[in-house]
Amino acid sequence: MPDGFSLEDAVANGVRCMMMRGGTSKGAYFLAEDLPSDVAARDDLLLRVMGTPDPRQIDGIGGAHSLTSKVAVVSRSAGDDADVDYLFLQLGVDEPTVSDKQNCGNILAGIGPFAVERGLVPAGPEKTRVRIRMVNSGSLATATFPTPGGRVEYRGDTAISGVPGAAAAVDLEFADTEGSVTGSLLPTGQVRDVIDGVEVTCVDNGMPVVVARAADFGLTGYESAAELGADEALRERIQSLRLQAGKLMGLGDVSAASVPKTTLVAPPREGGIICTRTFIPIRPHTSIGVLGAVTVATALLMEDAVGHELAVIPPPGTPLKVEHPTGTFEVGVELDTSASPPRVVRSSLVRTARKLFDGTVFPYAW
């Protein structure tokens, strides 16, 4: 968008936008050129687009939940190692906040298709491979998805937990996710720490996460998100845990941030490696985030990590199935545990995405 951006003009004429479901999230996708170059003006515009602050986001396109109050800003990459740059922004619902402190692997699933739809990357005759720089962390991901006849095909037979029906698979492979936000896979410098008398493992392989046993919170680990959300004392304990973990992980004061996430683990019940209950940051997640699942699985591969003794680890090369409140999530993680500290060799997963609408969105003016 030209530097002469006018909010009045955006309110009157709207802004080009594509709404997509990416994995188990939903967000507004924009070309960087369609938004103000000034960060403050951009954030103000996006809050107006989403309808924040308002718990219902009734005057915007947000879905009244952190999983549906997300934005992707995409542009051609200036570097040779990527095709496009992807900036993820997490917008608040009740509070007028815009955070670029984390990646989102779910919204990432829609970046490749969006890049083809907007003409940033030419479509292949059968499949298209898009190299994506995740601007938030500098990490690289490669998305591969079907484009028969040179057009993005969203229909398919891949089903993922938390999304009804099936859609075309988006294969995602990651590089350089180790220490994505904190700079280290084990940002506290050790595999185990003790916070508020609870043993935890603080790890970052694409998402800063604090892993703890559900039993240490007096929980089974199989409670529903609604049950966890109704427990005020639990929310206070989770907040205390992550505030202290944030400092130990080098993130400073995280009281206004959405990271680190907290994941409570319990023995698996559905054939997976572990059962999880995740909080973002203190609100129970109805499933588990993409890079959160990758990071938790990474932690469980370390023998001394909290939760390793509860996990059922399959043979090397087998997908790691992470159980969550609404199903399971398969990820691939190869970890070199002979190194000190351990080194991530590769991470991968499969998601789906779907274009919901493409057109013009009108921000509120009040």
Comparing 97-111, 262-276, 298-312, 328-342, which segment has the lowest mean pLDDT? 328-342
CA 359 distance to own-chain centroid: 25
- Give the count of alpha carbons within 13 A of 297, CB side only: 33
Instruction: Give phi and psi for 212, each to the nearest 5.
Output: -140, 160
Tell me what pLDDT residue 188 has. 98
Tell me what pLDDT residue 363 has. 98
Q: Of 293, 323, 325, 324, whose CA–CA distance to 226 is shortest?
A: 325
b/e code 8-34 from CB counts within 10 Å (16+ = b): eebbeeebbbbbbbbbbbbbbbbbbee
Segment holding 89, helix H or strand E: strand 84-91
Distance CA 41, CA 15 (A): 14
pLDDT band at 3 (very low <50, low <70, confident <90, very high): low
Tell me what pLDDT residue 269 has. 97
Comparing 236-245, 259-268, 337-346, 355-364, which segment has the lowest mean pLDDT? 337-346
SS3 call for 136: coil
Instruction: Convert the pLDDT of each residue in 204-238 to its tens digit.
Output: 999 999 999 999 999 999 999 999 999 999 999 99
Tell me what pLDDT residue 104 has. 94
Distance CA 137, CA 291 (A): 12
Q: Which amino acid belongs to residue 230?
A: A
Average pLDDT, the chain: 95
Segment holding 334, helix H or strand E: strand 327-336
Residue 202, both tokens:
């603080």
Would you say 277 and 221 are in contact if contact means Cβ atoms under 8 Å apart?
yes
Tell me what pLDDT residue 1 has. 54
Segment holding 132, helix H or strand E: strand 127-134
Q: In which residue are the tokens 């559905």 written?
A: 270
Using alpha carbons only, give the angle 219, 225, 229 rounded to the nearest 5 degrees.
Answer: 80
Q: Which residues pair with 347 in a beta bridge?
A: 174, 333
Q: Which domains does the chain have, with CATH numbers?
A: 7-177+352-361 (3.10.310.10), 193-341 (3.10.310.10)
Percent of the chain topping pLDDT 70: 99
Q: Which residues pair with 357 in a beta bridge?
A: 19
Around Cβ 215, how many Cβ atoms within 10 Å? Answer: 14
Cis (ω within 30 of 0) for the bond into 341?
yes
Would you say 291 and 105 are in contact if contact means Cβ atoms under 8 Å apart?
yes
Segment holding 45, helix H or strand E: helix 39-50
CA 17 distance to own-chain centroid: 20
Instruction: Convert the pLDDT of each residue in 278-307 to its tens digit.
Output: 999 999 999 999 999 999 999 999 999 999
**Is the pLDDT assigned to residue 2 strictly greater than 80?**
no
Q: In which residue are the tokens 């084990």 written?
A: 186
Instruction: Convert the pLDDT of each residue in 242-277 to its tens digit.
Output: 999 999 999 999 998 889 999 999 999 999 999 999
Distance CA 28, CA 25 (A): 11
